[in-house]
Structure 1
């Protein structure tokens, strides 16, 4: 039978080695967790493959253009095109189809814009509404997709060139957004998108830039779709929004807006898929071989010096079924060009 002294001795040894064991397990667990974290950081598991949930996608349709004899030079910081990842999101754009209510809906929209007379049929989908007063004004509206062009014969009224009530930058944006909202034409991604205000003056039957508001006869407001976390949204002409309004300085309702181009088509941001990208170096080679779209030519010379390559999304001026990614090449003298970014095997 153990004595009290022996019991105390073995208890102390047990506590001593037990403490060492607990300490060892704590240190071992901490070291093991650190090793696992380091290993995963250096050897991350491969991401799941792109979902390609929409199957093969239609080719992007850029406006027709005649390409000049441009030469290209890459002058990025690294001297090469950047690695912008191996995949990107594609967003679904709901398609609209012809139906018996299309003309009725378009007539309601025209009335919201101040056109109440019966329209003239130009094509199966394009109709023209007209107002004779206070200015001769036409509204050409696609009854299926809803895009339209409103043009007023502002040249008929020389008093419009006297611009006592031209709005400055911020008031012009607010007025444009209020006008569109009242007409039911300001969806959230247009309301929260970029805006651009320009000052114009008349030159014969057209508009030319004015250096400041004090020298302007008209104010132009461009509204763009909101940019996405994965990239900026670009239109066919980078300086032109999906919606462009031109205001005169006359506050008469029928004379205030002398031009309105509306080319907005909705995007379903909740319906998206990921698709593999071609390498940016391949896109650069395609641009050099004439396969890209020149959004803005260099203002001088025939050489396009590219300083920046990024990933964006193309917002076409005509209906499309998907908002797709593009490589954007930007450089000297305002040069901008686009190349479709998706791997060609997923495009038809």
Structure 2
């Protein structure tokens, strides 16, 4: 298998690295943390001008037709800069759900707006009782005279308060009132009956919890033709985990580079820390963990379009392994910086927090070890 990047992919990586290094400074991150949106609309517009928002969208819908490898290159650069713009929620998840489930009319109406930077999306799927089980949805959608009526609650909605539209998953009630297949519904921000509780996310960005009380929607709010949306949700979440793995690798590489540089200039008893053999061994262990995580993220990206079992095993394997690697790298970086590692003066703590958030998002290592085993046929799902 040839893993060499193409010329276009190398240019994408170089331009992304350069833009992130110049734009996402410590000062910018502190400013974004105090912004009600959690990100800069001006920078989001620049993302659109650079073509990044159009990257995975099909050419027929105003995009560039890129794949998981290109997304991974961008996300790794975003990890280096602790980017908080809603790229994951809008482009990696939202646009992909519309592409997977939407009718042609819905795709033509929504995807070009995403590519232009005119529309942001959020995906409201997680519920308190689900425990990361994608099939567990208690929110209901009932047919009404004018279309649909939604009732339920959602938690941990990434960038939900800033989204123009929210894709909400709900069980479609049958004629006898019983819950049936899973559907996805486009809910505009500020819809009557929709209540949002916004909060800052660990490591940057914002999230929210949603309550839906008799939210009235038109008939065309349902994405697609009413087919069960669970397979599409599993596909998109697996791809999102591959993208998150690449972001985590960017964070881990930055922690390694920063810690390596610090141990060269920080002196103790007249010698730099890096002169101590035990410190060198610890840095070697950190470098090994970064390389292992990068390999797992790349495998998940390469398997993004594989058949469901192979794709799911690759995504869960990457999420579980990278989660373990990320915690080790983050803890070593903080320890090797000493007391400075937990101060606001350095960015080490911010990177540490983002990795902790990564380990929990879409399920931690323990959850994905179980899912990987279930998909491998070793235990019953």
Q: Normalising by structure 1, report the TM-score.
A: 0.21
Structure with greater helix percent: 2
Of the two structures, which has the highest relative contact order with CA contacts closer than 8 Å and spacing of 6 or more? 1
Structure with greater strand percent: 1
Larger Rg: 1
Q: Normalising by structure 2, report the TM-score.
A: 0.19
